[in-house]
Amino acid sequence: MAPPQGSRAPLEFGGPLGAAALMLLLPVTMFHLLLVARSGPARLLGPPPYLPGLEELWSPWALLLCLTWLGLQAALYLLPARKVAEGQELKDKSRLRYPINGFQALVLTALLVGLGVSAGLPLSALPEMLLPLAFAATLTAFIFSLLLYLKALVAPASALAPGGNSGSLIYDFFLGRELNPRICSFDFKYFCELRPGLIGWVLINLALLMQEAELRGSPSLAMWLVNGFQLLYVADALWYEEAVLTTMDIIHDGFGFMLAFGDLAWVPFTYSLQAQFLLYHPQPLGWPLASFICLINAVGYYIFRGANSQKNTFRKNPSDPRVADLETISTATGRRLLVSGWWGMVRHPNYLGDLIMALAWSLPCGVFHLLPYFYFLYFTALLVHREDRDERQCLQKYGLAWHEYCRRVPYRIVPYVY
Ligand SMILES: NC(=O)C1=CN([C@@H]2O[C@H](COP(=O)(O)OP(=O)(O)OC[C@H]3O[C@@H](n4cnc5c(N)ncnc54)[C@H](OP(=O)(O)O)[C@@H]3O)[C@@H](O)[C@H]2O)C=CC1
Ligand SMILES: CC(C)=CCC[C@@H](C)[C@H]1CC=C2C3=C(CC[C@@]21C)[C@@]1(C)CC[C@H](O)C(C)(C)[C@@H]1CC3
């Protein structure tokens, strides 16, 4: 199929071959992690303990549960919102509107789950179903991406993403053709990015904590820390939901297999890896070390939130008193770039904070296994690659001004290191 005129962008992720490899590698990695986390040696780099047959992966109940979960989150998305935010300006100069009720969805889900558990809902049985649930989520993501691809065939050219329209079926299916696929006001990408996967992740963590309590009398301190840190991260994402409207995923990337699988399967089933590991491999953790790990998480969170809020405040209103005194450089587009405050320290201070938190989430699992550090390693690779993509996009947008910013702020993520 010929790409629409004027939409050729350089291929990313290694082109069609890279996209095909990632489409295979990502689900395989997810299942590997799920299997290894419950095995005795829990070796990240070793073979999985066994290869599950289709009868262990496929369960109509798991698919039903997965679809019910999506339905519940979609219903919560459609509830009246405390605010409706406008997104960035699109190619046709219009702006889309987004409901801001993600935190409300988290609280209502917590209430429903609380009611369910007190009425006898066996939440602690969930860890036993992780394999079939992950399989159902992968299947759902695959079918959903296919429907999104077909929907994009009839979308107007102005609705297409800058990247996912190369003309290669595999590549475009992976990256996503349409920028903001919607039915009426229901925005699929925005919905998936923040709701089912993120809230599903904390629910899986909670189920693992409850199962640990059943097995050992009470949850371990390490399990509490992992649950607490990750709940803070998810609650923060939903509290500051509007900020997601300025992320690369919403502004630049189409909605295809990468994000559909990432949001619906990868996030809940691999980001809960530390809690999965702790259920099967309890780790002793004393209060002094736990306090130190809490401090690391707090430092990471402080940088992450400070940097993200500073940029969002500045982008919304550069004269806001909280950012008005910061030094900036002008660009030909009329938008300015911050060169002091968090954004004068490194070019991606928010990534630095996120990485420090990622380390704090693994440390409660001890230092004798590499497996719980998978998230930290994967996340480092993801952010280094993402930073590189963002630099290229900023260079294209801001040209000489971006070179000047790089001269003034030479380090990318870690001061004096990278
Ligand atoms: N947990 C997870 O799995 C993941 C988490 N994340 C997190 O998501 C968050 C968002 O990340 P992401 O969307 O990649 O990128 P950013 O939020 O860092 O956004 C990058 C954009 O910010 C603007 N910008 C860059 N430098 C400046 C500056 N000096 N002054 C003003 N604006 C600037 C540019 O856009 P413009 O100028 O057009 O406004 C640039 O394109 C991060 O905190 C990241 O850590 C990301 C990926 C995965
Ligand atoms: C390897 C793979 C499967 C790639 C897909 C990547 C996705 C998992 C991530 C891309 C960007 C993300 C963001 C978040 C979660 C992971 C994905 C979807 C995010 C929602 C996490 C919470 C943060 O506070 C955030 C809102 C800033 C963040 C946005 C980007």
Q: How far is the CA of 247 from the centre of ligand 1 (A)?
A: 6
Residue % of the chain over a pLDDT of 70: 98
The conformation of residue 58, written as its DSSP 8-state character, comes to: -
Picking from 264, 210, 248, the residue whose alpha carbon sits closest to that of residue 73 is 264
The conformation of residue 160, written as its DSSP 8-state character, comes to: B
pLDDT (0 to 100) of residue 8:
62
Digit-coded pLDDT (tens) for 204-213: 999 999 999 9
Phi first, then psi: give them for residue 328, nearest 5 degrees.
Answer: -135, 165
Residue 81: strand, helix, or coil: coil
Residue 197: both structure tokens together: 């996967």
Q: How far is the CA of 391 from the centre of ligand 2 (A)?
A: 18
ipTM: 0.97
pLDDT (0 to 100) of residue 1:
38
Q: Mean pLDDT for the chain?
A: 93
Digit-coded pLDDT (tens) for 326-384: 999 999 988 999 999 999 999 999 999 999 999 999 999 999 999 999 999 999 999 99
Q: Could you tell me which residue, 167 or 219, shows the higher pLDDT?
A: 219
- For 70, 199, 209, 278, the CA distances from 205, given in Å and listed in that order, are 18, 10, 6, 10
Q: Which residues pair with 84 in a beta bridge?
A: 99
Digit-coded pLDDT (tens) for 184-201: 999 999 999 999 999 999
Question: What residue has token string 């490194």?
Answer: 346
- Select from 239, 245, 267, 378 the residue to mutate for testing ligand 2; criterion: most ligand atoms less than 8 Å from CB: 267
pLDDT surpasses 50 at 162: yes
What lines the ligand 2 site, CB under 6 Å? 26, 193-194, 236-237, 244, 247, 249, 258, 261-263, 266-267
Residue 326: strand, helix, or coil: coil
Cβ-proximal residues to 244 (8 Å cutoff; 6+ apart), any chain: 190, 193, 194, 237, 250
| Residue 78 contacts residue 186 (beta carbons within 8 Å) | yes
**Helix or strand holding residue 390 (H, E):** helix 374-398
Supply angle C-alpha 118, 123, 127, rounded to 5.
165
pLDDT (0 to 100) of residue 90:
85
What is the C-alpha to C-alpha distance for residues 105 and 76, in angstroms, rounded to an integer? 6
Digit-coded pLDDT (tens) for 280-293: 999 999 999 999 99
What is the C-alpha to C-alpha distance for residues 394 and 316, in angstroms, rounded to an integer? 18
- Select from 246, 272, 339, 384 the residue to mutate for testing ligand 1; criterion: most ligand atoms less than 8 Å from CB: 246
Which protein residue has the closest C-alpha to ligand 2 atom 5?
A: 262
Q: Which amino acid is at 81?
A: A
DSSP assignment string, 234-273: HHHHHHTGGGGGGSHHHHT---SHHHHHIIIIIHHHHTTH
Least confident of 132-141, 190-199, 392-401: 392-401
| Residue 259 contacts residue 253 (beta carbons within 8 Å) | yes
